């Protein structure tokens, strides 16, 4: 990807965050799903660490995938003309310097943005100390600003999905990440509408809501009313697909039947969604 195309995608991604409607990002896990989502009409994509981990036969959420493997995976940016932001987990290192290096490599790869979280992957201390977490985001932002094109940096507070349901600390972290220069703020797993409204009203930059965490099933219209400005599908499309495969496999193994094929798309259908025939 040349510098002109990187700049186009980076600027387009920035513009998508400033519109009146909620930006919805699909999360592909390979080249085929990236093309499928693009051809269905999504305007931007985000990688999923879980989708990558599952495709490699590994667990998600505990650092089982390396930085090199993640950066190789983000080559799905070449599959479509859409801007792509990457889930860079915790930046693949504890120090601010390690996080900055990861952001630099993400920029070199041509990504339009990336997210950095404050999870340590250590059971005894699952979240980085707040001050260190802030310094890590500061380093990520400073590195992102040196890139020769717009790069949207998302900062994540992981408290609610790491066994620390502390709303006050989560909000304090998000506000500090915003003050450090993060472009988008993100706290997966917030428990209810009131927490979402409070998070959105406490921040000046866009707040990202991830679909598929917890029992709540909000519509885009409701999320917009709460103040949410970006929604990522996260792992839920990947999990939905794998869940359908599990149901089909169990039907074959347990019942010896194949009713799962009723209503599924044909090879021709998927050919057109993933690689449309030239006119």
pLDDT tens-digit series, residues 216-268:
789 999 999 999 999 999 999 999 999 999 999 999 999 999 999 999 999 99
Cα separation, 200 vs 205, in Å, equals 9
pLDDT at 45: 98
Q: Is residue 163 assigned to a domain?
A: yes
The predicted pLDDT at position 240 comes to: 96
C-alpha 112 chain-centroid distance = 12
CA-based nearest residue to 233, from 249, 214, 213, 247:
213
Q: Stretch 125-152: mean pLDDT, rounded?
A: 98
> Which domain covers residue 16, as residue numbers?
3-235
Looking at the domain assignment, is residue 245 inside a domain? no
pLDDT, one tens digit per residue, over 83-117 is 999 999 999 999 999 999 999 999 999 999 999 99
Mean pLDDT along residues 6-26: 97
Residue 1 pLDDT: 85
Interatomic CA distance for residues 112 and 110, integer angstroms: 6
155 falls within a domain: yes
CATH classification at residue 54: 3.20.20.60
Residue 217 lies in a domain: yes
Whether 99 is covered by a domain: the verdict is yes
pLDDT of residue 278: 56
Q: Do 234 and 48 meet the contact criterion of CB atoms below 8 Å apart?
A: yes
Number of folded domains that form the chain:
1
The answer to the question of residue 25 being in a domain is yes
- Looking at the domain assignment, is residue 260 inside a domain? no
């Amino acid at each position: 990807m040349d510098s002109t195309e990187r700049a186009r995608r980076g600027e387009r991604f920035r513009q998508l965050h400033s519109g009146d409607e909620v930006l919805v990002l699909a999360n592909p896990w390979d080249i085929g799903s990236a093309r499928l989502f693009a051809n269905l009409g999504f305007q931007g994509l985000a990688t999923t660490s879980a989708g990558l981990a599952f495709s490699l036969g590994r667990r998600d959420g505990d650092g089982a995938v390396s930085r090199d493997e993640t950066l190789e995976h983000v080559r799905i940016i070449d599959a479509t003309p859409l801007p792509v932001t990457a889930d860079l987990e915790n930046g693949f290192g504890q120090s601010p310097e390690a996080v900055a290096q990861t952001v630099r490599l993400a920029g070199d790869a041509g990504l339009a943005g990336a997210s950095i979280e404050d999870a340590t992957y250590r059971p005894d201390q699952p979240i980085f100390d707040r001050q260190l977490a802030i310094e890590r985001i500061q380093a990520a932002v400073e590195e992102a600003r040196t890139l020769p094109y717009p790069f949207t940096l998302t900062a994540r507070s992981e408290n609610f999905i790491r066994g620390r349901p502390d709303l006050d600390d989560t909000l304090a972290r998000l506000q500090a990440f915003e003050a450090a220069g993060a472009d988008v703020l993100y706290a997966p797993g917030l428990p209810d509408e009131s927490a979402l409204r409070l998070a959105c009203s406490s921040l000046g930059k866009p707040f990202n809501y991830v679909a598929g965490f917890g029992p709540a099933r909000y519509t885009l219209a409701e999320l917009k009313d709460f103040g949410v400005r970006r929604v990522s599908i996260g792992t839920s499309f990947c999990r939905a697909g794998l869940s359908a495969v599990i149901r089909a496999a169990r039907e074959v193994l347990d019942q010896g039947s194949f009713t799962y094929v009723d209503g599924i798309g044909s090879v021709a259908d998927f050919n057109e969604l993933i690689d449309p025939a030239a006119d």
